[in-house]
């Protein structure tokens, strides 16, 4: 692993762990889409999978421009969030309960990405990579929009439906 001496090194590190995150997400999202029952949620996740693929390609282009290997680092943070999600997805659940759980898991990912892209875009601006900063800001906006849409779906539809599922009455 390369030493982080300055902001430039940290910028490269951040790009590599973001690429690692997007690559893992592209692999993990189809199972979430499959598991989702609510049509709005399914569509939303499918749309964001397409965006995620573009985010990954954008990072590859940025790394090429900077002369660094996008695959130069690994992201244990996103791996952990995904493992948590996989544990939840393996549970026995009602469709309503699982939809609510899927949104909560997806929002954890979005918040992680919002934080990472926020840092990376700021580093790019400070280091004078204006075009790269713009591309990173565009991805950041898409992550924020994905989070906002998930939040809307959760609050207005999915969580309400999960709340309305009747509890199993204990046998007396």
**What would the 3-class secondary structure string for the chain be?**
CCCCCCHHHHHHHHHHHHHHHHHHHHHHHHHHHHHCCCHHHHHHHHHHHHHHHHHHHHHHHHHHHHCCCCCCCCCHHHHHHHHHHHHHHCCCCCHHHHHHHHHHHHHHHHHHHHHHHHHHHHHHHHCCCHHHHHHHHHHHHHHHHHHHHHHHHHHHHHHHHHHHCCCCCCCC
48 vs 96, beta carbon nearer Fe ion: 48
The answer to the question of residue 55 lying near Zn ion (CB under 5 A) is yes
The answer to the question of residue 48 lying near Zn ion (CB under 5 A) is no
Q: How far is the CB of 156 from Zn ion (least distance, A)?
A: 24
- Binding Zn ion (rule: CB under 5 A), the pick from 16, 20, 44, 52 is 52
Q: How far is the CB of 57 from Zn ion (least distance, A)?
A: 11
Which of the listed partners (Fe ion, Zn ion, none) does 73 bind, with a CB threshold of 5 to 8 Å by partner kind?
none
Which of the listed partners (Zn ion, Fe ion, none) does 99 bind, with a CB threshold of 5 to 8 Å by partner kind?
none
The answer to the question of residue 56 lying near Zn ion (CB under 5 A) is no
Interface with Fe ion (CB under 5 A): 113, 143
Q: Which residues bind Zn ion (CB under 5 A)?
A: 52, 55
């Amino acid at each position: 692993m390369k030493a982080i001496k300055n902001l430039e090194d940290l910028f490269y590190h951040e790009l590599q762990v973001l690429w690692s995150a997007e690559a893992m997400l592209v692999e993990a999202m189809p199972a979430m889409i499959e598991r989702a029952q609510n049509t709005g949620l399914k569509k939303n996740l499918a749309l964001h999978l397409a965006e995620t693929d573009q985010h990954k390609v954008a990072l590859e282009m940025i790394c090429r421009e900077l002369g660094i290997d996008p695959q130069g680092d690994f992201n244990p943070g996103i791996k952990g969030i995904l493992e948590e999600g996989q544990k939840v997805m393996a549970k026995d659940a009602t469709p309503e309960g699982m939809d609510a759980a899927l949104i909560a898991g997806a929002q954890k990912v979005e918040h992680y990405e919002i934080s990472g892209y926020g840092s990376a875009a700021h580093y790019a601006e400070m280091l004078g990579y204006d075009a790269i900063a713009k591309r990173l800001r565009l991805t950041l906006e898409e992550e924020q929009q994905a989070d906002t849409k998930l939040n809307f779906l959760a609050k207005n539809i999915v969580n309400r439906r999960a709340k309305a599922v009747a509890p199993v009455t204990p046998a007396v």
